[in-house]
A and B are shown apart, each in its own frame.
Chain A
Amino acid sequence: KQEVTQIPAALSVPEGENLVLNCSFTDSAIYNLQWFRQDPGKGLTSLLLIQSSQREQTSGRLNASLDKSSGRSTLYIAASQPGDSATYLCAVERRGNEKLTFGTGTRLTIIP
């Protein structure tokens, strides 16, 4: 059974700093990995999707990397802003499963 872990559960950093969020998974036979953002009381918004054949994806100040062999992904946020405060979740789609397994998320707070 695929398990997805995100540590730490919460993180606070001063505005302007670069930061890294971590995601680890137990089964490397994945089809893709997605990073989502969730604002309080809202749904999830897809940020980046990395296919299993890719090593990284970039969108603006966000960069996500994938290392299947070690079962790890990181989400790098450059020059953090207060508007980046949210919960960030990762999810993996296992090959042959066609369903996502979610981590429990990291709640990020950017301090002005």
Chain B
Amino acid sequence: DADVTQTPRNRITKTGKRIMLECSQTKGHDRMYWYRQDPGLGLRLIYYSFDVKDINKGEISDGYSVSRQAQAKFSLSLESAIPNQTALYFCATSVISGGSGELFFGEGSRLTVL
């Protein structure tokens, strides 16, 4: 089983719908991240969390919200999806201070908003 699991892997939805992408990890890491990847733009950080009670906005948080339900679970929500949120979304984890800082990624969730 993968250390970082994202569900769903693929989702097609319509404009205005609420969507939740879920991420769970078995690595025991404190830090979790949500990125989106668009062609030609690279990966951009949406939200990140350094522990269960710590949530921080990234560079493109507008239109998104997150919930850190437990150390192992970090979900991303689009309250009212719009077409320019069509992208490949990645969850990632890393060890907090004292570790290497190495990031571990899930397989990605491809979201299409029509």
A76 at the B interface (CB under 8 A): no
Question: Are B107 and A42 in contact, CB atoms less than 8 angstroms apart?
Answer: yes
B41 at the A interface (CB under 8 A): yes
Q: How many of A's residues come within 8 Å of B, CB to CB?
A: 22
With A42-B108, A43-B90, A99-B58 known as contacts, the answer to whether A49 contacts B42 (CB < 8 A) is no
B84 at the A interface (CB under 8 A): no
Chain B contact-residue range equals 20 to 34
Question: Are A43 and B105 in contact, CB atoms less than 8 angstroms apart?
Answer: yes
A34 at the B interface (CB under 8 A): yes
Question: Are A99 and B101 in contact, CB atoms less than 8 angstroms apart?
Answer: no
B103 at the A interface (CB under 8 A): yes
Question: Are B102 and A44 in contact, CB atoms less than 8 angstroms apart?
Answer: no
Q: Mark B88-114, 1 if CB is under 8 A from A, else 0.
A: 001010000000111111111010000
Give residues in A with beta carbon < 8 Å to B.
4, 31-32, 34, 36, 41-46, 49, 89, 91, 93, 98-100, 102-105
